[in-house]
Every structure is written in structure tokens, then in C-alpha cells.
Structure 1
């Protein structure tokens, strides 16, 4: 699930969520609207605060393997379709 979708969860208090992950309401709004990408330092907190519904991989799809090599070791890259035998 992506962060904007998660933040629309009925009953979710965005201000409380922002406090839990250590950002201001304004910064959370910027993350939600795509104005600013989520910096890597906040991704683990978002993953924890969302009970794993929003993952670091979803928050940082282009660089999560470089940012969290321990996580990358648990999730090897999928084989490229062109490298599969036919």
C-alpha cells in the first residue's frame, strides 16, 4: 500500500501519525501529496507506524536496495524476464 492510500484509512489521525514518525503535519502533507519524497531516515518509522502496510520498498522503490542492504539480502531481485530460458 502506498502512503497516500494509507493516510486515507478511516479513523487514522494524521497529526498523531506525523508525531509518531517524527515529522510535522506540514511535512507529512508534503510526503502524502508527492511534493517531497520521503527521506530514507523516516521510512523505517513509517513502516513501523503503519504496521508494515507501507513498506520501505514502496516508499523508496528506486533506491531501497542501496539504502537498506540488509533488507535487500532478504529480498533478492526477481530474475529479469529476458534472462529466463524459453
Structure 2
């Protein structure tokens, strides 16, 4: 499922995701409407937060296989068990 569809399925999801990630609601909207790409470090967080409903492959369709080569082994995108620690390390500025 794409991010826009997931966020529209329940009122308040976009604001909740923005709070969870520490970004602005505008940023989440830009990702959902494809005006800006989701940064690599946020994709695993979004995948985990959505319990796998919005997989990284959908969030970064052009380079997911380069960024996360291990994902080629899965046919459907379940949430990783270690997504949070990996993404947290990636997002540290």
C-alpha cells in the first residue's frame, strides 16, 4: 500500500506519523503526494510504524534494492523486527 492511501484510511494518521518521526505535517504530506522523496532513514521507521502496511519498496521505488539489498529476499514487505534501531542510527545527524 502506498503512503497516501494508508494515511487517508484513518483520520489523524498523517499528524500522528509526523509526531512519531519528529517532522512537520507538511513533510509527511509532501511524501504522501510524491512532491518529495522519503529519506532513506525514515522509510524503515514508516514501515515499522505502519506495521508493514507501507513497505520501504513502495516508499523508495527507484533505489530500495540498492539501499536495502536484503529486501530482495522477501516477496511481501513485513515489518522488520530491528527496523527502529537501524533507522535511528541512520537518522542521527
- TM-score, normalised to structure 2, is 0.71
Give 1 or 2 for the bigger CA radius of gyration: 1
Deviations along 1:35-55, one digit per CA (max 9) or x if unpaired, are 101111110000011110000
**Which whole-Å deviations, capped at 9, do the CAs of 1:65-84 have from their partners, x for residues lacking one?**
10012222x248xxxxxxxx
1-structure distance, mates of 2:10, 2:74 = 31
> Could you tell me the TM-score, scaled by structure 1's length?
0.76
State the SS of the aligned residue for 1:51. Answer: coil
Which contiguous aligned blocks of 4+ residues in structure 1 show a shift greater than 6 angstroms?
none
Deviation at 1:24, TM superposition (A): 1.3
Q: How many residues are paired up? A: 75
The answer to whether the Cα contact below 8 Å between 1:47 and 1:54 also exists between their aligned partners in 2 is yes
Distance 1:2 1:51 in 2: 13
Distance 1:69 1:59 in 2: 15
Structure 2 spans left out of the alignment, 5+ residues: 76-93
